[in-house]
Amino acid sequence: MTDIMQVEGLCIAFGGLKAVDGVSFTAERNKITTVIGPNGAGKTTLFNLISGALKPSGGRVIIKGKDVTGKGPAALQEAGLARSFQITNLFFEMTVRENLRLAAQRLEPVRQALLPLRRHGRAADKVTALIERFGFAEKAHEIVAALSHGEQRRLEIAMCLASEPQVLMLDEPTQGMSHGDTEDTAQLIRSLTDEVTILLIEHDIGLVMSLSDHVVVMHQGRKLAEGIPAEVRADSAVQAAYFGHG
Partner 1 sequence: MHDRLDISMRANHVFFWILVIVALVFAAFASFSGDVFYLRLATEALILGGLALSIDILLGFTGLLSLGQALYFGIGAYVSALVLREEPSFWLAMGAAGVSVLLAGIAGGLIANRVRGVYFALITFGMAQVVAKVVYNSRELGASDGLIGIPVIEIPLGLITLSAGDPLGFFLLTLVIIALLYSVSAYLLGTPFGRIIIALKANEKRVPYLGYSTWAARMAAYVLAAVIAGLAGALYPMLRGFVSPELLFFATSGDALIMVIVGGAGTLAGAIWGAVILTMLKSVIGSWTEHHLIVIGLIFMSAILFMPKGIVGMLKPFVERNLLRNSARQPKPEPERTAL
Ligand X SMILES: Nc1ncnc2c1ncn2[C@@H]1O[C@H](COP(=O)(O)OP(=O)(O)O)[C@@H](O)[C@H]1O
Residues that bind Mg ion (CB under 5 A): 44, 86
Q: Is 64 left (phi over 0), alpha (psi -120 to 50) or beta?
A: left
Residue among 13, 17, 115, 228 that touches partner 1 (CB under 8 A): 115
Structural contact between residues 35 and 218, judged by C-beta atoms closer than 8 angstroms: yes
Nearer to partner 1 (CB atom), residue 103 or residue 200:
103
Q: Of 50-69, which residues contact partner 1 (CB under 8 A)?
A: 51-52
What's the min distance (Å) between Cβ of 53 and partner 1?
8
Q: Which helix (H) or strand (E) holds 223?
A: strand 222-227
Residues in contact with 154: Cβ distance below 8 Å, sequence separation at least 6, in sequence order: 134, 135, 181, 185, 188
Helix axes 149-161, 121-133, angle to 10 degrees: 140
Nearer to Mg ion (CB atom), residue 86 or residue 88:
86
Residue 111 binds partner 1 (CB under 8 A): no
Number of residues that bind ligand X (CB under 6 A): 11
Residue 127 binds ligand X (CB under 6 A): no
Structural contact between residues 225 and 238, judged by C-beta atoms closer than 8 angstroms: yes
Site string for ligand X, 39-68 (x = CB under 6 A): xxxxxxx-----------------------
Nearer to partner 1 (CB atom), residue 2 or residue 112:
112
What's the min distance (Å) between Cβ of 104 and ligand X?
28
What's the min distance (Å) between Cβ of 188 and Mg ion?
21
92 binds, among Mg ion, partner 1, ligand X, none (CB under 5 to 8 A by kind): partner 1
The whole-angstrom separation of Cα 53 and Cα 72 is 7
Residue 153 binds partner 1 (CB under 8 A): no
Residue type, 39: N
Nearer to ligand X (CB atom), residue 100 or residue 232:
232
Residue 77 binds partner 1 (CB under 8 A): yes
DSSP string, 123-149: HHHHHHHHHHHTT-GGGTTSBGGGS-H
Short-list 189, 194, 183, 196, CA closest to 212: 189
**Site residues (vs ligand X, CB under 6 A):** 14, 17, 19, 37, 39-45
